[in-house]
Amino acid sequence: MVQRVAIIGAGSSGLASIKCCLDEGLEPTCFERSDDIGGLWRFAETAEAGRFSVYRSVITNTSKEMSCFSDFPFPEDFPNYLHHSRLLEYFRMYAEHFSLLKYICFKTTVRSVRKHPDFSTTGQWDIVMETNGKVASAIFDAVMVCSGHYGDPHLPLDSFPGLKKHFKGQYLHSWEYKDSASFQGKRVLVLGAGNSGGDIAVELSRVAAQVFLSTRSGTWVASRISDHGFPLDMIFTTRFNNCVESFLPSAVMHQLKLKKFRAWFDHANYGLIPQKSPNLMLIVNDELPSCILCGAVVVKPNVLEFTENAAAFEDGTVEENIDVVVFATGYTFSFPFLEESVRSVCRSKFSLYKYIFPPSLEKPTLAVVGLLELTGSIMAGSELQARWVTRVFKGLNRLPPANRLMADIAKKKQHLIKQGLSSKESKIKTNYIGYMDEIASCVGVKPNVLLLFLMDPKLALEVFFGPCTPCQYRLTGPGKWVGARNTILNQWHRTLKPLRTRVIDDSSNRSSVFQWLRVLGLPALLCASLLICKYSPQLWFPRVRLGASPICKMGFMKGGL
């Protein structure tokens, strides 16, 4: 029976894993290489080899309501999107509140994780770790790998002829980038338009002589600020929207998304329009379009080659006098401490059962937590994974037999191939609500919305039409939290709280009525319309020829009727 659990890493996934172990009565020991918690989100002045590194100005791109641990909301006065220092503050509050620190061995590096000789009967692991040069070993009943996947910079120097041989300027990876101080007056080429590339290009454009942003595939850009100033993810990541998305043909959904993206700015005019699937690449950046509009950032295609001081691009253009190239080309990951038989499986999240469990272990006593790219908060996803994993370890939830795990993995890979996406494309983002509900079903904590409409309609309205916050997975089942209902009902209040720093009249009441009308009324109307369109179109368009209706023109009814 599993009792002692080794947790590798004390970032957000590691902290959640310690807490979940404690909730299930397991004994966690967390090994953290550095001297503090926070992982990726703990800023350091210089990048250290093998450690995560963020830049000084980085701000989350998912909002506080959507990113919190499910039974520990952010303080209501925290801003909606958080600077790394505020997020770290929150982690410290979480660790303190649940007394997690005493389970962490700091400055301890895990060197190896190997199956114990009796693994097939006990499922145990031999772990070797090093603290201040001293090597020790111990046997654990189970292992949670929470060491993150942004530690190894991907620096594709060989993909750019002339860079190493001819280019005389400086180059660095975004992993090394801290701030714009040393870029004053320089001509900078940022390679890669992911979230890092977008942020760095915008920041540098304030001090550099010129910034070029080169993108190979293009990207959609969304603002953190959505309709009426509410956080983007709170407005769009709703069960209602998810229903509409699964209900509508994907071509129609594609068109609706394009329309939404174009409403802010035309991505083709700004040189950013993606060449591949619309779901593949979306970055969150509030200022990039404005920087492009003002000429402070100039978008370029992929680089063909470098000469001594210039970059030649695929469209035949050349930019001379490039001083610095910033490779914002992403990250790779590895788990060097795992024994080869397990490490080879963990090279891709798509080879793991529900991105967590290596499928062919005789005992399910090793799990990877947080190896995720979601269309919502990774923190929330990791915490839910940890809840499931600890219950599997404890024997409260069971995994299907290995052949079914393999079949599930194969089916998902097949689905990707069908969509034209290779399973190697690590940045494919999985649908947030779909994934959360899938894991929640395994744990037994997926809210039953229909039942909720009968039992608690006020809450059900928020759960269905409002943002799908992590607290929704604390309403029922194991780990049910008594504060979840209130947290959900007060989410809009907590969103507005840090903004209400200059209240001049009582228009707040009016605006909250409008907010409700907008959040609930319009989607409900749309929902009803779609259902009518699908099942009784003549009710909606009694005398109108279907093909000529405005809704048909918008593409809503394509295929379905």
Write out the residues near ligand NAP by the rule CB under 6 A. Answer: 58-61, 150, 156, 159, 174, 191-197, 199, 216-217, 281, 302, 328-331, 373, 427
Distances in Å between the Cα of 72 and the Cα atoms of 37, 75, 96, 169, 487 are 17, 9, 12, 48, 9
Minimum Å gap between C-beta 47 and ligand NAP is 13
Looking at 195-249, list the stretches that DSSP marks H as alpha helix, in order from N- to C-terminal side. Answer: 195-204, 232-236, 239-247
Q: How far is the CB of 216 from ligand NAP (least distance, A)?
A: 3
Counting beta carbons within 10 angstroms of the beta carbon of residue 102, is it exposed (0 to 12), middle (13 to 18) or buried (19 or more)? Answer: exposed
CB 537 within 8 A of CB 561: yes
Residue closer to ligand NAP (CB basis): 83 or 343: 83
* Integer angstrom CA distances of residue 98 from 15, 17, 23, 95, 103: 10, 12, 10, 6, 11
Contacts of 422 (CB under 8 A, 6+ apart): 416
Nearer of residues 191 and 433 to ligand NAP, judged by Cβ? 191
Q: Residue 386 — φ and ψ, nearest 5°? A: -65, -35
Q: Is 303 helix (H, G, I), strand (E, B) or coil?
A: strand
CB of 475 to ligand NAP, least distance (A): 28
With respect to ligand NAP, which residue has the nearer C-beta, 108 or 174?
Answer: 174
Q: How many CA atoms lie within 13 A of 260 on its CB side?
A: 17
User: 3-state class of 7 per DSSP?
Assistant: strand
Q: Which one, 61 or 491, has the nearer CB to ligand NAP? A: 61
Output the DSSP codes for 92-161: HHHHHHTT-GGGEETTEEEEEEEE-TTHHHH--EEEEEEETTEEEEEEESEEEE---S-SEE---GGGST
CA 547 to chain centre: 40
Of 61 and 390, nearer to ligand NAP (C-beta) is: 61
Our CB check for ligand NAP shows the closer of 332 and 508 to be 332
For residue 321, give both structure tokens. Answer: 């006098």
**How many other CB atoms are there within 10 angstroms of residue 499's CB atom?**
12
Q: Read off the DSSP letter of residue 374.
A: B
CB of 79 to ligand NAP, least distance (A): 14
Q: From residue 68, give the alpha-carbon distance in Å to each of 438, 470, 473.
A: 19, 7, 12
Task: In angstroms, give the least distance from the CB of 315 to ligand NAP.
Answer: 14
Least distance CB 300 / ligand NAP (angstroms): 11
Shortest Cβ contact with ligand NAP: which residue? Answer: 194
CB of 286 to ligand NAP, least distance (A): 11
Q: Give min distance, CB of 382 to ligand NAP, in A.
A: 13
The residue among 127 and 211 lying less far from ligand NAP, judged by its C-beta, is 211
Which of 143/291 has CB closer to ligand NAP?
Answer: 291
- For ligand NAP, the closer CB: 342 or 428: 428
